[in-house]
Homo-oligomer: A and B are copies of this chain.
C-alpha cells in the first residue's frame, strides 16, 4: 500500500540524508526546509521534494552593513523615569538597555528628533533646557522642577538583529558573529537588498520556494542591561522607524510625528492601547511602503520561477496579512507558527495567497528534545487545539522546524507525527475545500477590527498572559466553533453601521484597552447604532469590562443592554437587591461549574428583569438580559476550556435568539464537537480531550446517536 503523501514540510540539515528520506516517507512530506541554524546540503536538495530555503533580506551581511552603520534600523526608546531632586538632572539614556544591541543615534540632531518629557506635569521640556553628553550617553536637564520625574525619548540604532540575538543568547552561540540588520528604507541597503536577492536567486537554482524569514522590519524586541528581554511586542512598529521614514511621513501626511508618537508614555503603542490617529496612519504608511518593497522581491522570486512564502513573524512588521496592501505584494503563501486554534486561524484565514502553512510545535530544539522529556505531550496538545481550528478553516500545509536529527532520537514522537500528518491529509480528503456549516455570524468589535484578525488579546504569540487569558479564551473558543467569525472596528460601525448579516457582536476586554474601546464609548453615534441594532433584535455579548468608560452615571455604556453594570464605589449608597440566580436557563443548561479566569468584580444587576446566571462573592459573573427585541449576555471572563467554549456557544445562540438551532451538528459532551461539510456530504465528530469520550451527536436533520470516541479521536460520517 502506498502511503498518502503531501501537505507536509520537513526540516532537514546537512549530512542527514537517509533519516530524512525515512521521515519523508513516514510523514508523507513533499517539501524540505532549512531552519535558523541549519542548512541543506546538495544531497538533501536533490531529494524528491520541494526545497524551501529561508531567506533573510536584511541581515547576515556584516561586510556590507559594516560600511554603512548609519543604515541600521532605528527605534525610539524612552529612558528610565528619572527623578529630579534639584533643578539639574542627568539621565543615562542606555541605563536599562543592552549596549550590545543598541547605540544612541547622534547622527541626527537630537534637538530635532528627541523629546525630553516632564512625566509629572506631562509637559514637553523646551530644547534649550537640556543638552546631550554624547561621550557618556547622557542628557542633562537644566531648570528641572524638583521632585518631577523626567524621561528622554531618543533615537537609537539597532546593531544586532533581535531574532539572531535572541537565538544567539538562548542557544549560547558564544563568539558567533552578531548579525547586523539593515534598513530597506536607506539608499545603500535598498540597492543591496535587491542586488543580493538577484544574485542569490541565480546562485540557488535548486530552491523551489523562497521562505522569507522575513522581510524588513522586526517586531519590537529590546533587551535590557543584563542581556535579557526588556520588552517584546509582536505587533510593535517601533523598529520600523527612521529619520527617513518619519520625514517621508511628514511630506505625505502633512504633519510631523514626534518621539512621543512612538514612545507613548512608555507603552510603545502596545496593541492593548487605544491606537492614536497618528499611530494608525503611521502603521498604514509603513505598510504601504513595505508592501512595495516586498513586491519587488517577490517579483524577482517569481521571475526566477520560484515561489515566495512569508514567515508570519520576526520581520513581518508592515506586511499586514489582513491589511489593505497585502494582496499587492503578490506573495504565494504564508507560513506561521501554530500555537493554538487562534494562531492557526490567524494563518489559515489570510486572504489573497495560494496556500497557507502552519509550523507546528514543538520546535526541534534542545529545550524540549532532551533526555527524560516527552515531546509527544506538547505535540499532542498542539495538534488537538489546532485541529479544532483546522476543521473550521484548514491551513493547506503543515510542517516543523529545527534540528531533524534531534527529533529523530525520539521514536514515539516520530510515530505521533506520522499519525497526525496522516490525520491532517485525511481531514483535507474529507473537507475537499468546502465551507463548513456555520450556525451564526459573530463579530468581535474592538479598536483594531479586521487588521488584527485573530490577533486580539495577544501579548506574545500564543503565550499565556495573566491579564489576557480571560479574554483570549473567547478567540480560542471561536477558532474551532461552528460559527463564522469576523473582526470589526468601531470605525467600521461608525462608517457603515452594523452589517445586518451579523447575529452577535462581542465586545470584551479591560476598560481603556483597545479591545474594550475606552473613550470611544462616549461617542453617541456609536451608542445609537449599537443600541438600535440590539433593540431591533441583535445579540450582544460583553466580557470583562465591555463598553466601559465612566460617563454620566454608567460604567458600562451599554449597561441598559447588558442589564448589569460595574460598581466603581460611587453608588455604594444605592441598594443592590438582585442576586437570585435564574435556574434552568438555556445558557447554563447542564453547566454547573464556572471558571471566569481573572474574572471581574463588583458587577451588579440594574433591575429584576435581568437573568442572573451566576452569583458569588456578592457579585454577578454571568447574566443575560432582554433589550427590546435583542438580547445581551454578560460574562466576567472566559479563559479557554471546552466547558467555557460551550458556555460561549450557548450564549451566542441565546443572544442571537436562535436557541432552536444550537443542536444542529452538535455534540452534547463539551469535550466533543461536530463539524459538518454539507457540500461534501460529510461530518466529523471530534474528541478534543486526551481521554476517551462518549457523546450524543445531533445531526443536521434532528437525529441523535450515541458515539464513542477514543482519546483525541476523530470520526467521519456521511450525511
A147 to B534, CA, bound (A): 10
Q: Establish whether residues B268 and A573, one from each chain, have CB atoms under 8 Å apart when the complex forms.
A: yes
Collect the chain B residues with CB atoms within 8 Å of residue A233's CB: 573
For the complex formed, measure the closest distance between the CB of A665 and the CB atoms of chain B, giving whole angstroms.
Answer: 36
Q: Establish whether residues A236 and B602, one from each chain, have CB atoms under 8 Å apart when the complex forms.
A: no
A460 to B576, CA, bound (A): 14
Q: SS class of chain A's interface: helix, strand, loop or mixed?
A: loop
Residue in B closest to A561 when the chains form the complex, CB atoms? B83
Of A61-69, A380-388, A395-403, A464-472, which binds chain B? A464-472
Residue in B closest to A606 when the chains form the complex, CB atoms? B81
Q: Does A580 contact B (CB under 8 A)?
A: no
Q: Does A550 contact B (CB under 8 A)?
A: yes
Residue in B closest to A122 when the chains form the complex, CB atoms? B552
Query: Which of these, B231, B466, B577, contacts A602 with CB under 8 Å?
Result: B466
Q: A7-21 vs B: 1/0 string, CB under 8 Å? A: 000000000000000
Q: A552-568 vs B: 1/0 string, CB under 8 Å? A: 11100100100000011
Collect the chain B residues with CB atoms within 8 Å of residue A598's CB: 601
Q: Does A703 contact B (CB under 8 A)?
A: no
A89 to B464, CA, bound (A): 48
Residue in B closest to A515 when the chains form the complex, CB atoms? B569
Q: Establish whether residues A560 and B81, one from each chain, have CB atoms under 8 Å apart when the complex forms.
A: yes
Q: Establish whether residues A228 and B512, one from each chain, have CB atoms under 8 Å apart when the complex forms.
A: no
Of A431-439, A523-531, A709-717, which binds chain B? A523-531
A410 to B427, CA, bound (A): 79
Within 8 A of B (CB), among A250-291: 265-268, 270, 272-273
A18 to B467, CA, bound (A): 68
Q: A364-401 vs B: 1/0 string, CB under 8 Å? A: 00000000000000000000000000000000000000
Query: Which of these, B117, B531, B568, B601, contacts A147 with CB under 8 Å?
Result: B531
Given contacts A83-B531, A230-B574, A535-B85, contact A510 B569 (CB under 8 A): yes
Q: Establish whether residues B573 and A119, one from each chain, have CB atoms under 8 Å apart when the complex forms.
A: no
Q: Establish whether residues A231 and B120, one from each chain, have CB atoms under 8 Å apart when the complex forms.
A: no
Interface residues on A, range: 35 or more
Q: Establish whether residues B572 and A527, one from each chain, have CB atoms under 8 Å apart when the complex forms.
A: no
Could you pull out 29 A-B pairs where Cβ atoms are within 8 angstroms?
A: A83-B531, A83-B535, A117-B552, A120-B528, A146-B532, A148-B524, A148-B528, A151-B553, A220-B573, A224-B575, A228-B577, A231-B575, A232-B573, A232-B575, A265-B552, A266-B553, A266-B574, A267-B571, A270-B570, A270-B571, A459-B572, A460-B573, A465-B572, A466-B617, A466-B618, A467-B567, A510-B568, A513-B569, A513-B570
Within 8 A of B (CB), among A136-154: 145-149, 151
Within 8 A of B (CB), among A587-632: 598, 601-602, 617-619, 628
Collect the chain B residues with CB atoms within 8 Å of residue A81's CB: 553-554, 560
Q: Which of A272, A468, A550, A571 has the most CB of B within 10 A?
A: A571
For the complex formed, measure the closest distance between the CB of A146 and the CB atoms of chain B, giving whole angstroms.
Answer: 7
Q: Does A551 contact B (CB under 8 A)?
A: yes
Q: Does A172 contact B (CB under 8 A)?
A: no
Q: Does A229 contact B (CB under 8 A)?
A: yes
10 shortest interchain CB distances as A-B pairs: A265-B553, A233-B573, A147-B531, A147-B528, A266-B553, A267-B570, A231-B574, A119-B552, A459-B572, A466-B618
Residues of A within 8 A of B (CB): 81, 83, 85, 117, 119-122, 145-149, 151, 220, 224, 228-233, 236, 265-268, 270, 272-273, 459-460, 465-468, 509-510, 512-513, 522, 524, 527-528, 531-532, 535, 550-554, 557, 560, 567-575, 577, 598, 601-602, 617-619, 628
For the complex formed, measure the closest distance between the CB of A45 and the CB atoms of chain B, giving whole angstroms.
Answer: 39
Collect the chain B residues with CB atoms within 8 Å of residue A568's CB: 510, 512-513
Collect the chain B residues with CB atoms within 8 Å of residue A273's CB: 570
Q: Establish whether residues B575 and A467, one from each chain, have CB atoms under 8 Å apart when the complex forms.
A: no
For the complex formed, measure the closest distance between the CB of A564 and the CB atoms of chain B, giving whole angstroms.
Answer: 13
Collect the chain B residues with CB atoms within 8 Å of residue A550's CB: 512
Collect the chain B residues with CB atoms within 8 Å of residue A618's CB: 466
A569 to B512, CA, bound (A): 9
A707 to B119, CA, bound (A): 54
Residue in B closest to A628 when the chains form the complex, CB atoms? B85
Residue in B closest to A226 when the chains form the complex, CB atoms? B577
Collect the chain B residues with CB atoms within 8 Å of residue A553's CB: 81, 119, 151, 265-267
A27 to B408, CA, bound (A): 89
For the complex formed, measure the closest distance between the CB of A390 and the CB atoms of chain B, giving whole angstroms.
Answer: 29
Q: Establish whether residues A120 and B601, one from each chain, have CB atoms under 8 Å apart when the complex forms.
A: no
Query: Which of these, B120, B229, B460, B557, contacts A552 with CB under 8 Å?
Result: B120
Query: Which of these, B145, B229, B575, contacts A228 with CB under 8 Å?
Result: B575
Collect the chain B residues with CB atoms within 8 Å of residue A83's CB: 531, 535, 560
Given contacts A122-B552, A265-B553, contact A459 B528 (CB under 8 A): no
A560 to B574, CA, bound (A): 37
A268 to B574, CA, bound (A): 10
Q: Establish whether residues A554 and B148, one from each chain, have CB atoms under 8 Å apart when the complex forms.
A: no
Q: A83-B531, A85-B535 are in contact. List 17 more A-B contacts (CB 8 A).
A: A120-B557, A122-B552, A147-B528, A148-B528, A149-B560, A228-B575, A232-B573, A232-B575, A233-B573, A265-B553, A267-B570, A267-B571, A268-B573, A270-B572, A272-B572, A459-B572, A513-B570
Residue in B closest to A535 when the chains form the complex, CB atoms? B85
Collect the chain B residues with CB atoms within 8 Å of residue A512's CB: 550, 568-569
Query: Which of these, B121, B567, B575, B601, contacts A524 with CB under 8 Å?
Result: B121
A569 to B468, CA, bound (A): 8
Q: Establish whether residues A266 and B571, one from each chain, have CB atoms under 8 Å apart when the complex forms.
A: yes
For the complex formed, measure the closest distance between the CB of A565 and the CB atoms of chain B, giving whole angstroms.
Answer: 10
A120 to B270, CA, bound (A): 29
Collect the chain B residues with CB atoms within 8 Å of residue A459's CB: 572-573
Residue in B closest to A229 when the chains form the complex, CB atoms? B575
Collect the chain B residues with CB atoms within 8 Å of residue A460's CB: 573
Collect the chain B residues with CB atoms within 8 Å of residue A120's CB: 524, 527-528, 552, 557
For the complex formed, measure the closest distance between the CB of A519 and the CB atoms of chain B, giving whole angstroms.
Answer: 12
Given contacts A122-B552, A571-B266, contact A532 B147 (CB under 8 A): yes
Q: Which of A465, A527, A552, A557 has the most CB of B within 10 A?
A: A552
Residue in B closest to A220 when the chains form the complex, CB atoms? B573
Q: Which of A236, A268, A531, A553 has the most CB of B within 10 A?
A: A553
Q: Establish whether residues A468 and B122, one from each chain, have CB atoms under 8 Å apart when the complex forms.
A: no
Q: Establish whether residues B575 and A272, one from each chain, have CB atoms under 8 Å apart when the complex forms.
A: no
